[in-house]
């Protein structure tokens, strides 16, 4: 079987063809921009669609695919009209405009009950029910035209297959799904947000071939009409497919957002963790995040060290300098908090150097990464010894593991393009 794997992240789309699980082509990557405007973080839907089409068309053998697999960052919420056109921007998980709505939802449902039902607190942006509530309150005329709401895989399916699809892993991050039991949409949660069940997509497991490419989409995207497309899954879930996804398996994604996730045999929600269905079978994942991981280092480079090349800046990251400067690592807020924290430096003096400020950022990221291991034991008490690591921020990976508790059995295994390769392991149903 030839699979066209498509992975949509916060800054680019990657596509690659696999035959029976093995790469058939090099990966095609097309970048697009994420717009940051205060607390709003959005992607222009047409730019994303254009990037998807270009990535697919770059693969000269793209028309030969027997099936299409999707992995997506999550949540990335969008509302569509009855023709499948986006009527809102794609609002990413870093968006923080919906703090008031998050507080109101938690008051209305109750914090403990919300956690039991949805598996997560209604984190602003990080759980998309808060974004939906914001648009329902502040963009009433826009939402009056809405025919479907969902995440990135919902949007891609609507445009490529005409269907109304979401998978269990993405449904978990809507805040409208009974995550802990994988029991479908919750009337109670939908009523609290004020969203009609008629706007919600149908829920499938991630590897279900939920629909087929339409003739119109085939012409626009360089595909073959009738090609089946799987429902899709959250990118970290796709990466975990590469590991065998056994309970206790840790996966560390070192990117702009730093994610440490563990596979769980049952859901054990925690107010500081993100809990969701794995996407396939009766398994879950729990994740602890640093909202601005690699992006904190990128920020330091662009603001304080722009005179240095990438190579010279990365050389600085390997040094363990001592500093009395302290940094709070919340440049993108906190994904598992409602009232958002902000980043700050403290203990600065007139003698403080930029190298000391960088050392403070490094120390804060390393400390935060080590603290997550203890937190994740709430979800799964014992971890498997091999930790899989992926993502573009290799320097961040080394820093992140520096202060982890010593374990002679622990091994780190780096895997490239883990989400794409994980999709290639799936057998469509």
pLDDT at residue 176, as a whole number: 98
- 86-107 per-residue burial string, b: 16 or more CB within 10 A, e: under 16: bbbbbbbbbbbbbbebbebbbe
HSE (side-chain half, CA atoms, 13 Å) at 363: 16
189 confidence band (pLDDT: 50, 70, 90): very high
28 bridge partner residues: 15
Domains of the chain, earliest start first:
2-237 (3.30.420.40)
State how far the Cα of 237 lies from the Cα of 244, in Å rounded to an integer: 11
Q: For residue range 300-337, what is the model confidence (pLDDT) as tens digits?
A: 999 999 999 998 998 888 777 778 999 999 998 888 88
State how far the Cα of 374 lies from the Cα of 378, in Å rounded to an integer: 8
Region 181-198: what's the mean pLDDT? 97
**What's the token pair of residue 236?**
């970290």
pLDDT at residue 88, as a whole number: 98
DSSP letter (8 states) at residue 208: S
Region 8-20: what's the mean pLDDT? 93
Rg of the chain taking only CA atoms, in angstroms: 21
Region 241-263: what's the mean pLDDT? 92
Strands 284-290 and 258-264: antiparallel
pLDDT at residue 62, as a whole number: 54
Q: Which residues contact 290 (CB under 8 A, 6 or more apart)?
A: 257, 258, 329, 365, 368, 369
Tokens 């717009």 belong to: 35
Q: For residue range 267-303, what is the model confidence (pLDDT) as tens digits?
A: 999 999 999 999 999 999 999 998 888 889 999 999 9
pLDDT at residue 53, as a whole number: 95
Q: For residue range 363-373, what is the model confidence (pLDDT) as tens digits?
A: 999 888 888 98
Strands 326-328 and 344-346: antiparallel
Give the residue with greater pLDDT, 191 vs 253: 191
pTM of the predicted structure, to 2 decimals:
0.92
**What's the token pair of residue 409?**
């059995």
Residue in 260, 132, 236 with CA at minimum distance from that of residue 191: 132
361 confidence band (pLDDT: 50, 70, 90): very high
pLDDT at residue 420 is higher than 60: yes
Torsion, CA 247, CA 248, CA 249, CA 254, rounded to 10: 130
- 169-182 per-residue burial string, b: 16 or more CB within 10 A, e: under 16: bbbbbbbbbbbbeb
Q: Would you tell me how many other CB atoms lie within 10 Å of the CB of residue 141?
A: 7
CB 64 within 8 A of CB 131: no
Longest alpha-carbon distance in the chain: 66
Min mean pLDDT across 59-73, 77-91, 348-362 is at 59-73
Burial (0-12, 13-18, 19+ Cβ within 10 Å), 272: middle
Give the residue with greater pLDDT, 166 vs 253: 166
Opening angle at CA 147, ends 141 and 152, nearest 5: 105
398 confidence band (pLDDT: 50, 70, 90): confident
pLDDT at residue 393 is higher than 70: no
CB 174 within 8 A of CB 103: no
Q: For residue range 94-150, what is the model confidence (pLDDT) as tens digits?
A: 899 999 999 999 999 999 999 999 999 999 999 999 999 999 999 999 999 999 999
381 confidence band (pLDDT: 50, 70, 90): confident
pLDDT at residue 63, as a whole number: 64
Burial (0-12, 13-18, 19+ Cβ within 10 Å), 414: middle
Q: Would you tell me how many other CB atoms lie within 10 Å of the CB of residue 60?
A: 10
HSE (side-chain half, CA atoms, 13 Å) at 106: 20
Q: Which residues contact 38 (CB under 8 A, 6 or more apart)?
A: none
Residues constituting the chain: 429
pLDDT at residue 295, as a whole number: 86
pLDDT at residue 395, as a whole number: 64
């Amino acid at each position: 079987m030839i699979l066209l794997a498509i992975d949509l992240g916060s800054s680019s789309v990657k596509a690659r063809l696999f035959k029976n699980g093995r790469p058939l082509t090099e990966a095609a990557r097309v970048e697009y921009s994420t717009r940051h405007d205060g607390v709003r973080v959005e992607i222009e839907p047409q730019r994303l669609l254009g990037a998807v089409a270009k990535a697919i068309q770059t693969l000269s053998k793209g028309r030969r695919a027997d099936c299409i697999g999707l992995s997506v960052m999550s949540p990335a919420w969008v509302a569509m009209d009855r023709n499948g056109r986006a009527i809102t921007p794609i609002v990413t998980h870093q968006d923080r405009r919906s703090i008031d709505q998050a507080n109101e939802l938690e008051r209305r449902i109750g914090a403990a009950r919300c956690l039991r039902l949805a598996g997560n607190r209604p984190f602003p942006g990080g759980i998309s029910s808060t974004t939906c509530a914001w648009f329902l309150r502040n963009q009433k005329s826009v939402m009056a035209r809405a025919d479907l709401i969902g995440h990135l895989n919902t949007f891609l399916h609507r445009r490529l297959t005409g269907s109304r699809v979401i998978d269990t892993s993405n449904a978990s991050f809507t805040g409208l799904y009974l995550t802990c039991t994988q029991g479908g949409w919750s009337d109670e949660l939908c009523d609290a947000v004020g969203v009609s069940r008629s706007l919600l997509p149908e829920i499938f497991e991630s590897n279900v071939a939920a629909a087929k490419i339409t003739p119109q989409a085939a012409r626009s995207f360089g595909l073959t009409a009738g090609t089946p497309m799987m429902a899709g899954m959250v990118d970290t879930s796709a990466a975990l497919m590469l590991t065998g996804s056994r309970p206790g398996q840790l996966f560390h994604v070192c990117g702009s957002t730093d994610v440490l996730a563990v596979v769980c045999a049952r859901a054990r929600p925690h107010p500081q963790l993100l809990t969701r269905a794995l996407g396939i079978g009766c398994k879950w994942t729990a994740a602890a995040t640093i909202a601005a991981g690699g992006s904190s280092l990128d920020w330091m480079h662009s603001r304080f060290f722009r005179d240095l090349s990438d190579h010279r800046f990365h050389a600085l990251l390997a040094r363990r300098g001592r500093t009395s400067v302290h940094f709070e690592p919340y440049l993108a807020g906190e994904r598992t908090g409602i009232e958002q924290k902000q980043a700050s430096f403290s203990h600065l003096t007139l003698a403080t150097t930029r190298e000391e400020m960088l050392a403070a950022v490094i120390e804060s990221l390393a400390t935060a990464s080590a603290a997550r291991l203890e937190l994740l034991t709430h979800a799964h008490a014992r971890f498997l010894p091999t930790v899989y690591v992926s993502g573009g921020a290799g320097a961040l990976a080394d820093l992140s593991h520096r202060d982890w508790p010593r374990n002679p059995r622990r091994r780190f295994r780096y895997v490239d393009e883990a989400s794409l390769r994980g999709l290639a392991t799936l057998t469509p149903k």
